[in-house]
Each structure stands twice: as C-alpha cells, then as structure tokens.
Amino acid sequence: MTAAVSKNLKDMTFEDFCRTVFDTTKRYDKPETLKGVRVISTTQYILGPSCANYLAELGAETIKVELPKRGEPMRHTTPFNEPFLYPLSRWMPDKGTGLGFFGANANEYFLSLDFHKPEAIQIMKRLAAKSDVFAENYRAGTFDRWGIGGRQHLKVNPRVIYQWMGGFGGWGPGRNRASYDILGQAQGGCFSITGWHKEYGGMPSKQTIWIMDYWGGAISAFNIMACLYWRDNVSGKGNFLEYSQVHGAQRHLTDLIALYGKTGIVAQRFGNWEPLLCVHGILKCGKSSYPNSKNPQEQEVGFCLVSAYKDEDFANLCKIVNRPDLAKQYPTHADRVGADAQTAIYPELEKWAADKTKEQVWEECKKAGIVSQPVWNSKEVSAQEHYHLRGSLAWIDDPTFGDVQTQVHPALMSETPPRCRWVFKPVGADNEYILAKLCGYSGSHIAELEQKEII
Amino acid sequence: MAEKWRTEKKRPKIKVLPWPAIPPPTVDEVYAGVDEKKKAYSLWVESAVRQQFNADKPESLDGLRVLDCTANQIIGHWCSSHFSELGAEVIMVEPTGGDPLRKLTPFGREEYMFTAANGEKCGARFLAEARNKLSVTLNVETKEGQDLLKKIIPQVDLLIENAPPGHYDKLGIGYRQLSEINPRLVYLWVGERGQWGPLKDQPGAMDPVGQNAMGFTHGTGAPVAFGGTPTRSGWWLADQVGGTFAAMGAMAALFAREKFLGTGQFVECTAAEGVMRIIDYNWGWHGMDGSVRPRYGNWDLAINIYAVNPCADGQIMVGGGHDRLWFRIWRTVGKDRPELEQHICEDPKLRVVTDRLPHYMQVETYTTMCDWTKDKTRAQCEKALQEEEVASGGVSFLDEVCEFPHYKYRGHIEICDDNNYGKVLLGASSFIGMNTPGRIKWIGRTVGQDNEDVYRRLAGLDREKLKALRKGGVI
C-alpha cells in the first residue's frame, strides 16, 4: 500500500484505518528501513548495545562483537540471579544468559573476537572497511591505540559513521572517570528532582530504568540516522560522533537549567505532584486491587493519576469527590497551582480515594470525562490487549529460546515498520556466517581461529 | 489561565550569580602533566568536535522542513527539537493565542518566566524546547486554517501532530487527506498511549499518563518495607523518551523515502510505548515466570554493588559488580575502616559474584558500606573511590550540575544569547560530532512571530490576505 490511499481505506473509520495500516501481522510483508546498512557494534552493557539494537530493529544488519566464551558482562546480569535463558553458547550449554541482556541485543548477529590477539584486530579492520556504522564503547582512545579507532577507519572507509559512546567522553577534565547509568543519573541531576521532598519522608530517587543508557542509545541512533541521511543525500562523507552518557541528563533537564540560570532557583523534588499543573498528580487509593494475592507487589494499595488541571475538569472532579467547596475555593488554575494550594488539595482528594481501588478511581474519572491512569505494574501492563495489538509488546517464537515476551521498537510505521526477529542469540552464534560472508574465511580457517581462542 | 498569580509566603530573594560562577578549566589545565602520546587522542577528538567551530560546519538535516503542529504536550516539541538542533527548518504551528504550555511555570510563579523583547512572557518548560524553531499561529478548526495548511503541505517533509485521535482526519487534514496532496509527506502522530486501540488517548492527556501506563511509576521509589511508594519521574520522562523514539521513527521514514520508497508514510509513537521499549527485562521476566518487577529504591535488582546510598552531606553512588571492582571498593573502604573490609571479604557468602545478588546479601553489603560513607562527604567518598578507579559520584543538585567543570568544559551546558529573550542557560544538543555538529542558534520566538515570513514565503499570502486572516482569527 502506498501513500496514495486506496478507496477502501478512504472510507474506513479512522480507527479501522489505523488498525489496517499498522497491522502488526503484516510487518513481514513490508520492507525494512535500514535494509543494506551494516552496523558493527563492539559495545557492552546497555548504552552502546541499545543504540545498535534500535538500528537492527529498523532493519540494519547489525553485527555484535563480544569476547569469546563468556560474552559481554550483561549476559551475567539478571535480577536476584534467578532467571536465565539457556544456553550461553554452544561451548557452555549448562550456563545461561541473564535477563540484563534483554532489550538491547535483538535482531543482531553475534560474533566473538578476542581483541587482545593481533588476528582479531585484522578481522576488525576488514569488518570496518565494509561497514556503514561502527559503534564502540571501549575506554576512549583504546581503539585508536589498537589501530581500529575512528581516525584509522575513516581513512580506509571515508563513508563510515563512527560512534563512540561512554561515560565522560574522550576529552575534558573528567575523561578518565568510569561511569555507569546510575552515575549519569546521580551526577547529572536526575535523582535530585525525583521522589518526595524530605518533609514528606522522601529522598532523591533513581528512575527504575537504565534511562541514561537507553536514552543515550536512542539519541545516538537518531544522530546516526541523520548522519546516514547526510552522507547518502548530501555529502557522501562519514562522520565521527562522541556521546557521553552524563550528557543526557543535562539535555533532559534543560528547562530546569534555564530556570537556574535565570533565577538561581535549584529545582527540588515534588513527589507525585506536578509543579506546573494542578490537579495533575498521582493519588494514593486506599485499597489494593488484589488483596488475596500472594505476591506482595499486588497486595500493595493502588495509585492512580488524576489530571484535571482545566477549570471545568476541576469543577467536575470536585463534583465526583463531593467537595463543591474546593471548586469554589480554587476556581482558577492560578489559584490551584501554587505550592500551598497543591499541598492542601491533594490530601482532600486522597480522602475520597481512601476506600477505593485504583480501578474504581479510574472508572469514576472516566465516567466524568476526566483524564486518569492507574499505576500499573509489569503484570498489568503485560495483560493489556492494547499494547499487544499495537505490537509494542509481543510474544515471539524465538529461534533459540522459544516463546518469549518482548518489547519491540515503539515507532509504528505504515510502510517500513520495525520488527523483532529474535531477542538475542548465544555467544558466537554467527561466527561462521559472518567470517565467511565478510572476511571470506574457509571452514577450516574458522575452526583454526576457534582453536586458537581468537573467536 | 487567569492572570491572577498566587502570592504564597514571602519567598527569599536569591542572588543570581552569572554563569559560570567559576570559569571552566583551560585546555592547559586539563592536560597539565599528561604525556604527549596519551593526550594526542584527546586533543584530536577535542579539535574534531569542539562546539566553538560549529558555525563553520554544515548541518545534517539542512533543507528538511518540519511542521510541528503539537500543542499542550511536550512529546511533540521534544521530538521536533531533535530535528531543529540538526538543522531542519522547524515551524511550530501553534493555536491562535499560542501553545498553552507557554503559560506554564512552576507553581504559577510569574517571576520564573522569561520575557521577550516585546514584553511577552514564556515559561521555561516551553522555551527550552523552542530552540531553533520558528513560530506561526494557525486555527486548524476553521475552514480557512485548514486550507492554509493544505496549501503549505506540498513544501513540507514532516508533519507532527498530537490532536485527539482522529481529530485531524475528521477536519480533513489527517494523513489520509494530506498524503494525497503530498505523497512524500511523512506524517507523525504522537501522544501518551495511542490514537487507536482499546486505550487510545483522551483529549488533554499528558505525562505522567505514559509513565503510569507502562509500569515505570510502579517500579520507581523504595519498596513498601522501606517506606516507599510508587514514584513518578520528576521530569516528563515518558514524553521525552517517547519523543526521541518518535524522532527516530520519523527520521527512518525520511531515510526510507530518499533511499527506496519514494513516498512518505504514517508514523505513530507514544510516550508509554517509548519507555516500555527501554524498561530493561520487565516483559521477558514476566513472560518467563510471571514475576512482577518490584520497586527496589536506589539499589539494583541485578547488580551488587550498583547503588546510591546516604553519606554525610547527601548521597553517593558507587558501582562495581564484578570481582575486580568489588575488591577495589572494599580496599578503599579498608584504608579507613579495615574491619569493614575484613567483614565483607571474609564472608564466604559474598565471595562469588552471583552469590551477592539475593536481597539479604545486598542489605549486608550496603549496610556495611554506609558505615563508611556516613562520616564522609560526597566529595571525600568520590575522591577516595576514584583513586582506585571505581565509578562513583555524588547525587548532584541543579546548581552543582550547572557548575560541574566537566560539563562546562565540554559544552553540555551553554548560554544562548537570544535576540528575543536575552541570555538563557540551556542543556546543549546531544549531537557532539565532527562534520555536522548539532547546535542551538536561537532559543525561541514569540507567539506567531514568523506568521508574516512563513505565510508569505510558503503560501504566497500578501498584506491584504494576511490582514484578513488575522482579523478572522485564523492566524
């Protein structure tokens, strides 16, 4: 189907039209965006791998290079050391890959290489010469020293886009510091504004995800695609990019930085309320939705966002909670949004929610046309037909691990949709394929490399 | 919003220091005492990517035209910022009177707003994402407004909108209609949960709807046993993550258009699904054994040590899961408190990396560690741990972030000296690169500032017609 919409599609309701053009069961009938783009990813942890992963979901041939045998460290990271997907590799069938590896390595080809051996460096050079994108996150300058850095690759292959990703970057006073996602969050300012204020018993809080890593990977993937666009349509030239993990926090908090620069105000935590809008906060609902569950996660009381910042919505809300006096006391948004007013209004609303589950609060708000959204846990989200229908969450039949539930790239595209072909593969699963295809190695040569523990 | 600003308790007057209060270190200071060979790489990267040379370099997306028709939500503006930072011409199409986001300022405090040369006020939330964009106003609810939009569409590469599901379609300016006028148009819808499907958006939905709808809020904050509750992110995280993925989808569509497709396409991306994509292993784990990802506060379910814990003047992050770092961390602690190092290193239950992950082992680890950190400031902890090359750093507040020497030196934070709004401090573009760096050229426009320019240039309107449209409330 092309942009010139057929008559049939023209007559459909909008909902049906969306269901048709975004139909996830038709994903494989459509081409992939980055078909023919080759990405070499010598990355570990989350930041670098996720960047390469997004490109792989969009159809790039992405080759992940990791150390032989044990693979990269995230394969050995899993919650409470319990869930694993087996096997780790054909050499270690009794070991599994931890779920920390999930979500950042889908659709990729897995090549194992020990960079400490000179033959491996030769292989890297051959791969880079045939690639469009080369992503790495070793300590800045390491690859340069080994002769496989941006400076060298760009000489051999001027069209390559070389993306370095890592903690503090290759230059500047902090360049030698080690970093992790949580350090980027802490020292970048993310902690300082998340959570309840001290007066409410709160403290600076971590975002539950490895946000600086995953977002850094996303912005890097966007930047790489912009570079590909410039290369293919304008200049024919490659590029060298450096993304420092700690940078993401400053980009995200840019409005608070502007506020600091102008007024000297240091933004503080405001818990589950919103400094910019009122009512637009998460209410504690007094009842658990699953009081009889054995899982403590489900025995917890519920929480539900209620958003009624417009005057008419607030008046409506006051009607539901049976407090018309509040509507009179705080008729305009300017009356409600001040800190004093907010701290007075929310406890009153929570009194109303005290004998309700989050679903009951949601229902009542929905009936009145007020925007609301319960706080869902991963089980409740997994059960939403909505996400499975749209394909952002999917059960896939993974070639190695069987039935797996996984997230899929969230961009819905009518003509060239992203897709998840496999969640990941064991260490070195594609050694033979990649080395034969890109380096022209014979079977016995590859076997010899394996014996010498180069791959 | 009514112009009646609430005056709360008298607020203290804060002395505003010019930024930077302390100048960033010079090149010579940064590389003092480093041998030539070692600093050669740093100096090469620095010369290749330093922002001071940005203006002399081309921009990756120069020549693309983006209409950002979103309003009252940050996801669309965040998305179009990625394009404007890389050189696309982004035109914000605001409702007449301006995007309601312009009026938002923390606690409604007017003194926190930025004032343009013409006296118009704008809140930081909107202004920070108006970078490099033009502003026009257009009432798309009117017939004339729709016609004007259709007139411009042949010259547009990407249109972004966030109207209630199906609204633009109903108005005759949805993907179905506009793609007939311009088959090369990439049409992007952004929102919280979606424009179709059982949970499709209601009008007016904003973050944290996205955060709540995909499990982020449930997982953030301390467990109940530690006195915590589900916690939303302090900033509009879902909108901003979703916006980045939306930009990626739109960029992919533009790439495909040029490469082989020849036509544009319909793209949709939401805040909830954006964060869903990046929330680690939640879905795989639940799918395997029904586990519900719990809240784990400032610790990590899958790595020990990898946490933020209290210290004398705040909180300190220490990370290092595998053996090499684990023993270095305890060696650092042992320099002051040998008994703590001994306690951990001699515990047979903590010897193997995988044995350290169960909850009670994490409690033991961090309790012991806090016995050391509690008497030390963030700076002292950081210094001691960095001597052993362990990743660590204090939880920093915004003032500390803005003055952090590394960020200042690398231009993560910069001042934009704007015609309209004067000097504004901002987080810079995340594109630090050699040939086509991202950049901030101006910070933003007042409501409809570019009406005349854009409508004359793209729609050929003359003085008379512009006047009529203005009078009719169309622009």
| H helix or E strand, kind and range, residue A374 | strand A371-374
Confidence of residue A5 (pLDDT cuts 50, 70, 90): low
Query: Is residue A225 helix, strand or coil?
Result: helix
Q: What is the DSSP letter of A278?
A: S
Distances, alpha carbon A386 to alpha carbons A128, A380, A382, A410, A418, in Å: 41, 12, 10, 13, 18
Q: Which two tokens stand for residue A330?
A: 């705080």
Average pLDDT over residues B103-117: 95
Q: What is the DSSP letter of B246?
A: H
Q: Does A153 touch chain B (CB under 8 A)?
A: no
**ipTM exceeds 0.85, yes or no:** yes
Residue A309 CA to residue A306 CA, distance in Å, equals 9
Residue A221 CA to residue A241 CA, distance in Å, equals 11
Residue A103 CA to residue A170 CA, distance in Å, equals 27
Q: Does B279 touch chain A (CB under 8 A)?
A: yes
* Chain center to CA of A350: 33
- Residues in chain B within 8 Å Cβ distance of A258: 114, 124, 127-128, 424-426
Domain-by-domain residue ranges, chain A? 31-250+425-451, 280-382
Q: Percent of chain B beyond pLDDT 70?
A: 98
Q: How confident is the model over B419-435, as pLDDT tens digits?
A: 999 999 999 999 999 99
Distances, alpha carbon A204 to alpha carbons A191, A255, A327, B283, B317, in Å: 5, 19, 33, 27, 12
| H helix or E strand, kind and range, residue A325 | helix A324-329
Which of the residues B436, B439, B442 would you substitute to probe the A interface, choosing the one with the greatest number of A C-beta atoms within 10 Å? Answer: B436
Residue with tokens 């600003």: B5
Predicted pLDDT at B320:
86
Residue B468 CA to residue B475 CA, distance in Å, equals 9
Q: What is the DSSP letter of B433?
A: B
Predicted pLDDT at B1:
35
Burial of residue B433, with CB atoms counted within 10 A of its CB: 0-12 exposed, 13-18 middle, 19 or more buried: buried
Nearest CA in chain A to B258: A233
Mean pLDDT of chain B: 94
Phi and psi angles of residue A296, each rounded to the nearest 5 degrees, phi first: -60, -25
Predicted pLDDT at B182:
98
Contact B271, B246 (CB under 8 A): no
CATH of domain A280-382: 3.30.1540.10
Contacts of B358 (CB under 8 A, 6+ apart): A80, A81
Residue A253 CA to residue A194 CA, distance in Å, equals 12
Taking an 8 Å cut-off on Cβ atoms, the answer to whether A222 and B280 are in contact is no
Taking an 8 Å cut-off on Cβ atoms, the answer to whether A230 and B436 are in contact is yes
Extended beta strands in A149-289, E state: 161-166, 239-244, 280-284
CA distance B469 to chain A (A): 28
CB < 8 Å from B in window 192-211 of A: 192-196, 201-211
Please state which of the ranges A9-13, A49-53, A382-386, B59-63 shows the lowest mean pLDDT. A9-13
Q: Percent of chain A beyond pLDDT 90?
A: 94
Q: Which of B276, B298, B424 sits opposite A206 (nearest CB)?
A: B298
Query: Is residue B152 helix, strand or coil?
Result: helix
pLDDT of A2 higher than 60 = no
CA distance A8 to chain B (A): 12
Q: Kindly report the pTM of this predicted structure.
A: 0.97
Residue A205 CA to residue B195 CA, distance in Å, equals 32
Mean pLDDT of chain A: 95
Residue A161 CA to residue B299 CA, distance in Å, equals 36
Confidence of residue A240 (pLDDT cuts 50, 70, 90): very high
Q: How confident is the model over A137-167, as pLDDT tens digits?
A: 999 999 999 999 999 999 999 999 999 999 9
Taking an 8 Å cut-off on Cβ atoms, the answer to whether B302 and A100 are in contact is yes
Q: How confident is the model over A198-224, as pLDDT tens digits?
A: 888 899 999 999 999 999 999 999 999
| H helix or E strand, kind and range, residue B327 | helix B323-336
Q: How confident is the model over A112-135, as pLDDT tens digits?
A: 999 899 999 999 999 999 999 999
Residue A221 CA to residue B251 CA, distance in Å, equals 10
DSSP letters for A92-158: -TT--EEGGGTTSSTT-EEEE--TTSHHHHHHHHHHHHT-SEEEE-SSTTHHHHHT-SHHHHHHH-T
Q: Which two tokens stand for residue A153?
A: 């690759």
Predicted pLDDT at A198:
87
pLDDT of B68 higher than 70 = yes
CATH of domain A31-250+425-451: 3.40.50.10540
Average pLDDT over residues B230-259: 97
Q: How confident is the model over A386-403, as pLDDT tens digits?
A: 999 999 999 999 999 999
Residue A409 CA to residue A155 CA, distance in Å, equals 34
Taking an 8 Å cut-off on Cβ atoms, the answer to whether A339 and B279 are in contact is no
Q: How confident is the model over A277-316, as pLDDT tens digits?
A: 999 999 999 999 999 999 988 999 999 999 999 999 999 9
Residue A412 CA to residue A27 CA, distance in Å, equals 10
Q: Which of B196, B244, B292 sits opposite A379 (nearest CB)?
A: B292
Contact B127, A262 (CB under 8 A): no
Query: Is residue B411 helix, strand or coil?
Result: coil
CA-closest candidate to residue A219, choices B273, B70, B126, B241: B241
Average pLDDT over residues A231-243: 97
Q: How confident is the model over B284-305, as pLDDT tens digits?
A: 999 999 999 999 999 999 999 9
Contacts of B223 (CB under 8 A, 6+ apart): B294, B295, B296, B297
Distances, alpha carbon A100 to alpha carbons A156, A281, A402, A423, B272, in Å: 35, 32, 18, 12, 21
Q: Which of B196, B273, B427 sits opposite A19 (nearest CB)?
A: B196
Residue A37 CA to residue B260 CA, distance in Å, equals 13
CA distance A238 to chain B (A): 8
Residue A111 CA to residue B18 CA, distance in Å, equals 52
Predicted pLDDT at A420:
96
Q: ∠ CA(A414), CA(A416), CA(A418), 5° rounding? A: 100
Burial letters A259-296, b for 16+ CB under 10 A, else e: bbbbbebbbebbbbbbbbbbbbbbbbbbbebeeeeeee
Contact A239, B57 (CB under 8 A): no
Domains with residue ranges and CATH for chain B: 65-278+414-471 (3.40.50.10540), 306-396 (3.30.1540.10)
Q: Which two tokens stand for residue A284?
A: 């504690």
Predicted pLDDT at B353:
84
Q: Does A406 touch chain B (CB under 8 A)?
A: yes
